[in-house]
Amino acid sequence: MNSKHQHDENCGCGCHDDHHDHHNHSEHGHQPEPHHHTPPAIMVKTHDTSLVGSYRLTIETCFEDAVTILSEAQKKIAAEITSLGGIIGHIKANLTAAGQSCMISLTEDESDLHYHNSHRCQAEGVAIVFGIVPEQLTAILSTILGPYLNN
């Protein structure tokens, strides 16, 4: 999923909660048009008795190290939740690496290829838990994932 996305008034991205309704711009005297914005790095919502914390990360290292970092971070999150008396539902994330890149440069008829390996990984994850309050989950995610959160 793109970190910046287009959406309309039916979009479920949740970003609409924090700003005024940009989808009805007639009062501003201009036509409504799709817009782009970056969703927050951490979003915590409630659903019945569950708390759902979603997060987006960038880890500036190779894929193998990023797997270790993210895995350890998830264990820390779980330990913090449990220590507060909470119950882990599911903590999961999808990690992807940018991999190889190539800049292709052409002037007249000379084409130069500049290869490099990207050491940037992106992760999107969710922590679904019970028995703690939203502020606690937000604090846990912010503290443990802080260095890697997309801002």
Which residues contact another protein by CB under 8 A?
Answer: 1, 12-14, 39, 43, 45, 47-50, 52-56, 87, 89-90, 92-94, 96, 124-126, 128, 130-131
Tokens of 11: 């979009």
Give the nearer residue to another protein in terms of CB position, either 25 or 96. Answer: 96
Amino acid letter, residue 86: G
Residue 151 beta carbon to another protein: minimum distance, rounded to whole angstroms: 16
Question: For the chain, what's the residue count?
Answer: 151
Give the nearer residue to another protein in terms of CB position, either 30 or 47. Answer: 47
Give the nearer residue to another protein in terms of CB position, either 32 or 39. Answer: 39
Residue 102 beta carbon to another protein: minimum distance, rounded to whole angstroms: 23
Give the nearer residue to another protein in terms of CB position, either 61 or 122. Answer: 122
Please give the full DSSP string across 62-124, using - where no structure is assigned: -HHHHHHHHHHHHHHHHHHHHHTT-EEEEEEEEEEEEEEEEEEEESSS-EEEEEEEEEEEEEE
Residue 84 beta carbon to another protein: minimum distance, rounded to whole angstroms: 14
Sign of CA pseudo-dihedral 106, 62, 1, 13:
negative
Give the nearer residue to another protein in terms of CB position, either 56 or 136. Answer: 56
Residue 103 beta carbon to another protein: minimum distance, rounded to whole angstroms: 27
Three-state DSSP state, 57: strand
Query: Contact, 6 vs 22, CB < 8 A?
Result: no
Residue 18 beta carbon to another protein: minimum distance, rounded to whole angstroms: 13
